[in-house]
């Protein structure tokens, strides 16, 4: 049975209703499996920025600010803390010494991978409680989500 909206807004069509449920489910899922993310002593904002650098590769502070959707002064404070904690390194570009890029350190990558492994393990434990047919349905849904991601990245699927 579909979950009721917290307010009396009537959703116009089926796709909007599905979008609403998917949004809500994704938020609740991420909150649930990330409950232990502070275990490594990194705040949410720092963990988010570190994740972008670890999984997105070397980038400028400006690029990181845009990806995190925060102002330069905000991301600069976050980067300072990540550098101080040995999770990110600032590097000068060889082609232009004025350009500073950020790169994850081995310690930063290890911390992110450890957190990711915890979240995946927690979710896998929850999935073990499901019937095989429900897991298969999730696999099919993930294929659909992959198509949406590909389209958002300019693909043709």
Question: Over pLDDT 90: what percentage of the chain?
Answer: 64
User: What was the pLDDT predicted at 155?
Assistant: 66
Domain ranges within the chain, ordered by starting residue: 1-33, 41-152
pLDDT digits over 28-83, tens only? 998 888 877 776 788 889 999 999 999 999 999 999 999 999 999 999 999 999 99
- Distance CA(92)–CA(102), nearest Å, equals 9
Residues β-bridged to residue 102: 59, 90
| φ and ψ of 104, to 5 deg | -70, 140
User: What was the pLDDT predicted at 134?
Assistant: 97
Cβ partners under 8 Å of residue 17, min gap 6: 2, 11
Where are the alpha helices (H) located in the chain, listed in sequence order?
14-33, 44-56, 61-68, 72-84, 106-127, 132-152
Q: What is the average pLDDT across 96-113?
A: 92
- Distance CA(105)–CA(86), nearest Å, equals 7
pLDDT averaged over every residue in the chain: 88
Task: Tell me: pLDDT of 6 over 60.
Answer: no
* Architecture of the CATH domain 41-152: Orthogonal Bundle (1.10)
């Amino acid at each position: 049975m579909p979950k009721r909206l917290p307010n009396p807004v009537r959703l116009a069509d089926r796709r909007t209703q599905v979008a609403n449920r998917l949004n809500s489910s994704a938020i609740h899922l991420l909150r649930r499996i990330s409950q232990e993310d502070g275990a490594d002593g990194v705040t949410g904002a720092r963990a988010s920025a570190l994740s972008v650098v670890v999984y997105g590769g070397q980038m400028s502070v400006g690029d990181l600010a845009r990806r995190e959707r925060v102002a330069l002064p905000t991301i600069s404070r976050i980067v300072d803390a990540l550098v101080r904690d040995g999770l990110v390194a600032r590097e000068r570009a060889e082609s232009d010494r004025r350009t500073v890029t950020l790169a994850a350190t081995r310690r930063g990558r290890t911390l992110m991978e450890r957190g990711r492994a915890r979240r995946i393990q927690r979710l896998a434990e929850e999935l073990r409680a499901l019937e095989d047919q429900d897991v298969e349905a999730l696999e099919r849904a993930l294929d659909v989500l992959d198509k949406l991601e590909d389209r958002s990245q300019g693909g043709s699927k």
